[in-house]
Structure 1
Amino acid sequence: MEIPGPEPCAGGGAGAVAAAGGLHVYQLRLHAEYGPVVRFQLPGAESAVSVADPVLLEAMAHLDRRPEGLFSFLDPFFEAGNIQVMPAGEHGPWRRLMLSVLAGRPSHERHFPRFAELVTELADRWAERADGVAVGLQKDLTTLSLRMICAYALGDDVVDPERAVAAFEDVLTEQLSRLYGVPGRERGGAERAREALGHLRASVDRVVAAHRRGGAGGRSDLIGALVDAGESPARIRDTVMMTLLAAHHTTGVAVSWTLHLLGRHPEAAERVAAELDRVLGGRPAPAYGDLRRLPYLTMVLKEAMRLYPPGPYGARETTESLTLGDYVIPAGTTVFYPFWAVHLNPEHWPDPEEFVPERFTPEAVAGRARLAYIPFGLGPRGCEGAQLAMMEAELILAVLLKRFRFRPEPGHEVVPVERFVLWAADDIRMRVSSRAAP
C-alpha cells in the first residue's frame, strides 16, 4: 500500500515547514490530515516518512543509524565528527561510557547539593522582587540549567552562562536557517555564529586543559571518564559541547512549560505544594532521597513534557526494507518519530490536549502502549542524559513550588515555536509571589 502524504513541491519541503512554523507543527498537521504514517519532503532527507503510532514504532526501536543530512546543522559544534551520526560500531562504546556517568546515581547524588545551591540562588533573587512581579521563565531557567550542567560537565560554574546561552542560539539559528531556508535572517548572522562558536570552544578547551593539569576541571565526572577512556582531546571537547547544548535547552524549557501549565491549573499547583509541604516540612529544598517521595510532582512534569515535549523529533535511516502495518518502507528512508504527534495521538491519549497528570499513575502507565510517551527518544540512540535531566527538573520544580505561586501574566500570550527545542515566542512571563503572601 502506498504511504499517504502531500504532493512533492519545489524547494524540497522547506517552504511547507517554514509556513507551518517549524517541524513540530508541520508533523502535527500532516498526521491530522493523512493518518499515523505519512510521507513528506524535508531538506536533508531525500525520502522521509513520519510515524505517530506508538504500536508501529515498536518495529523501529532497533534502528541505530541517524540520517547524516538531517543532523548536518550540528556539524559546526564538532571537530572529531558529528556525534549525533556516529556509526553504530563507534557509537555503542561511546554511549556506554556516557551512560556510566550521566545515568549513574552516585554521580547524581554527589552533584545534588551544588545543584540545590544554584536553584536556591535563583529563588532568592526572585524573592527579592516585589510579590506579583512578572518573570521571564525561559530566560532565567535556561540560564539556570546551563549553570547546572556546567557544574556537572565542567566541574564548576566556569562559563558565563548568559553569554554561552546566546552563543548556542547564534550558532543554531544560523545553521537551521540555512538548512530550512528560513527567510528574514538578519545580516551578520554568519559572522556572529563563527565568533560564538569560537567562544564556546575556547571555554570548553580551558576546562579540559585544566583537568589534564589536575586543576579546576578535575571535579568533572564526565571529563574524567572521557580522559580515562583514552578519548582524543577533540572528541572530549565535542562530547562536552554536545552535553552543554542538549542539557541546557531541554531542562530549562521543560520546567518553564510545567510552570506555565500549573499557572493555568491552580488545583494541580496546590496539590504539588501540599505534597512538598508534607515531604519537606519546613525545609526549603529537598534532599536527593526526597525526590522519590514526590510522585505527584513527577506526574505533573511528565504530563507537561507530553503536552510540550522539549525536543521536536527522533529520526533514523533504514538500512533494509521495514514493514510498518500495511506499509513497506524501503531501505535508505529517513523515518521520523515526531514526539508531539505521538504524544497527542487520540487513539492512545483520550482528550489529548487536556492537562491530566493522573495519566502517569503506575496503573495508567501499565495500561498504555510502551512507546506512547517518548520525550527522550527510544532505542539505541535515546537520550543518554534522560535520568540526569529528570532529576534536575524535579529539583528545580520542588524548590520553586515550595516557595512561590505562579500565575499567568495578564495579556501575555504564550505561543509555542520551534527553536531547536519547543520554545515560547515571547518567553513565558508569569507573576511570581511568595506562598506566604495572601
Structure 2
Amino acid sequence: MSEYGGIAMGNVLPIPGPEWCDDGGAGAISDAGGLHLHQLRLHAEYGGVVRFQLPGAGVAVSVSDPLVLEQTARIDERPASLFAFLEPLCEAGNLQVIGAEEHGPWRRVLLEVFAGRPSHERHFGEFVSLVEEVAERWGGAGGDAVLLQKDLTALSLRMICAYALGGVGVGSEVVQAEDVVDAFEVVLSGDDGTEQQTSLDYLRSTVDRVIAAREESDRGADRSDLIGALLAAGTTPARIRDTVMVTMLAAHHTTGVAVSWTLHLLGRHPEVAERVAAELDRVLGERSAPDYGDLRELTYLEMVLKESMRLYPPGPYGAREATEDMVLDGADGTYEIPAGTTVFYPFWAVHMNPDHWPEPAKFVPERFTPEAVAQRSRFAYVPFGLGPRSCEGAGLAMVEAQLTLAVLLKRFRFRPVAGHEVTPVERFVLWAADDIPMVVTPRAVGD
C-alpha cells in the first residue's frame, strides 16, 4: 500500500485533495474566510469525498456526497480532540465522545424524554407563554429594531430549562437567563482562565441547586422532564449535572439561531412570508398561538423552517472516527478509509451539493414537499446530524421552532434593517456577526 496525504491507500482510487501545508491547514481555512467556505471550495474542486488538513485532527476525510454519508452513518465514535472544548462542562466524562457501550444506554434515556410526544404536549402550554412574553415585548418596540439572536437564544434557553429542569426554570430565583448565557460564553471563549473557572463554578452550582430543588419537589422521579428521567434511571449526580449543562448549551444556541435565520430569510422573501401568514390565519383563525395538534397542519411553515435550516444549518459540522477500515463507494469513485481516520461532515456543503439541490443558494421551501423529499437521498438533508450520534433533541427542537415561528408570524411582519449586512460566522453554531436586527410591525388576520 502507498501513502497519499497521510492516508494509506490500497488498489482503489486515492482520495483527492489539496497539497499539504506546514501549518496544519490553518492558513487555507483563513484564506478562504472560514472552514465552511474552505469546504465548499474543496468539494467544488475535488468532488464529494476530499482529504484535507483539519487543525486539531491532522488529516481528515470530508464527505459531502449523501450516498457516502449513508455508508458511514453507523459509526458511533467521535474524534476526542475535536470535542475537547466541551470538557470543562463535563466532570463525568465528555458526553460527546464517551464510548459506544456507555453512550448507547445514556442516549436511550435522553430519547425517552426528548422524543416523546406526551412530554412535548405536557410542556407545550409553558412554551406558548414564554414565546408570547417575547411577542408582547416586541409589540411594544415602537418601531425600533429588535435583535433576533439575542432575544431568541434567551427564549430558547428559557424553553429548554422549563423542559429539562422540571419546572425550576429560567427567571426563577435559581436560574437567571442572562447570567447563564453570559457564563456559557465565558466558559467557551477560552480567553481568561480565572474568569472561565468562575463562570464554570456558577453554572455547576446553579444546576446543582436545580437538581436539589427538583429532588425535594413533590413530583418524585417524573420521567417527563430530563432531570426526572435521569433520576429514575439511576444516573449519578455528576452525570445528571453534565447532561443538563450540555443540553442547555446545545439547545439554547441551536433553536434560537434556527428561528433567527428563518425570520431573516422571510424578511427578504415577503411573498413566502405572506403565504406562511395565510396558512396561520387558515389554521388558527383568531387565535394568537397554536395548540400542539395544530403544528401538523402548518405544513408550509414546516417546509420554510426546513429550507432555512438547509441554507443555514444551526450546527454546520459533524465528525466521526472510523473504528475499522472502510471501503466507500461514491459518485466519483471507490475509496479506502483506514481505521482511526477522522471522517468530517460539512453539513453546509452537503446542503449545498448541486447534484442533490438544483440552484442550491436559492430559498425554495417547495424543496420539502413530500413528493420532492421522496426523490432525494435522506442523507442529503442532515441538520441534526446522522446515525447514533445524531441530535437526541431534534424532535423537541422542531416543536420549539415551529411554535415560536407560528406565534411571531401570526402577530408580526418582519422587515430587514436597511444598510445592515447579515454575515454568517462559524462558532459553536452558525451565528450572525452583529446579530440580525429587524423591524417588526403588527399584522391582523387576513392582513
Give the TM-score band, short-chain normalised.
over 0.9
Q: Secondary structure at the match of 1:129?
A: coil
Number of the residue aligned with 2:213:
210
Residue in structure 2 matched with residue 420 of structure 1 by the alignment = 428
CA distance in 2, matches of 1:16, 1:201: 38
Q: Per-residue deviation at 1:33?
A: 2.2
| Residues 72-126 of structure 1 deviation map (CA, whole Å, 9 limit, x = unaligned) | 1111110000000010011010111100000000000000000000000000001
Show the counterpart of 1:372: 380
Question: How far did 1:51 drift?
Answer: 0.2
Matches within 5 A, 1:36-435: 36-130=48-142, 132-155=143-166, 156-157=169-170, 158=172, 159-174=175-190, 189-214=192-217, 221-325=225-329, 326-435=334-443
1:218 to partner: Cα distance: 7.2
Q: Deviations over 1:190-226 (max 9, x none)?
A: 3322222111111111101112223799777110111
Percentage of identical aligned residues: 70
Distance, in Å, in 1 between the alignment partners of 2:155 and 2:377 is 34
Name the CA distance, whole Å, in 1 between partners of 2:53 and 2:218: 50
Correspondence 1:32 to 2:44? yes
3-state SS, counterpart of residue 285 of structure 1: coil
Task: Quote the residue 1:184 is aligned against.
Answer: none
Question: Which sections of structure 2, spanning at least 5 residues, go unmatched?
Answer: 1-12
Aligned residues: 424
- 1:27 shift after superposition: 1.6
1:215-267 Cα deviation digits (max 9, x unpaired): 79977711011111111110000000111011000000000000000000000
Whole-Å separation in 2 of the counterparts to 1:108 and 1:172: 30
Partner Cα distance (2:208, 2:26) in 1? 36
1:166, distance to aligned residue in structure 2 (A): 1.8
Name the aligned partner's letter for residue 190 of structure 1: G
- Give the AA of the match of 2:434: D
Decide whether the 8 Å contact of 2:221 with 2:232 is kept in 1.
no
12-21 or 274-283: bigger deviation = 12-21
Q: Which amino acid aligns with 1:343?
A: H
Query: Counterparts of 1:22 and 1:234 in 2: how far apart (Å)?
Result: 36
Match of 2:17, SS state, is coil
Report the Cα offset of residue 30 of structure 1: 1.7
Q: RMSD between aligned alpha carbons?
A: 1.6
Which string of whole-angstrom CA distances, capped at 9 and with x for unpartnered residues, describes residues 358-407 of structure 1? 00000000001110000000111110000000000000000000000001
Q: Which deviates the most, 52-61 or 391-400?
A: 52-61
What is the rounded CA distance, in whole Å, between the counterparts of 2:59 and 2:219 in structure 1? Answer: 48
Taking the aligned partners of 1:15 and 1:312, their CA distance within structure 2 comes to 20
- CA distance, structure 1, for counterparts of residue 138 and residue 84 of structure 2: 39
Query: In structure 2, how many angstroms separate the alpha carbons of the residues matched to 1:153 and 1:120?
Result: 20
Partner of 2:92, secondary structure, is coil
Rate the CA distance shift 1:15–1:278 in 2: closer, same or farther, 3 A.
same
Report the secondary structure of 2:59's partner residue.
Answer: strand
**Distance in 2 between residues matched to 1:73 and 1:203, nearest whole Å:** 21
Partner residue in 1 for 2:5: none
Distance 2:205 2:116 in 1: 28
Once the two structures are TM-superposed, the CA of residue 9 in structure 1 deviates from its matched residue by 1.6
Structure 1 outlier segments of 4+, above 6 Å: 215-220
Contact map agreement 1:133 1:433 (CA 8 A) in 2: no
In 2 relative to 1, CA 256–163 (structure 1 residues): closer, same or farther, beyond 3 Å?
A: same
Distance 1:10 1:192 in 2: 34
- Aligned-partner SS, 1:247: helix
- SS state at 2:288 partner: coil
CA–CA distance in 2 between the matches of 1:345 and 1:241? Answer: 34
Distance 2:259 2:430 in 1: 12
Offset, 1:327 = 1.1
Aligned counterparts of 2:217 and 2:399: Cα–Cα separation in 1:
29
Cα deviation for residue 20 of structure 1 reads 3.5
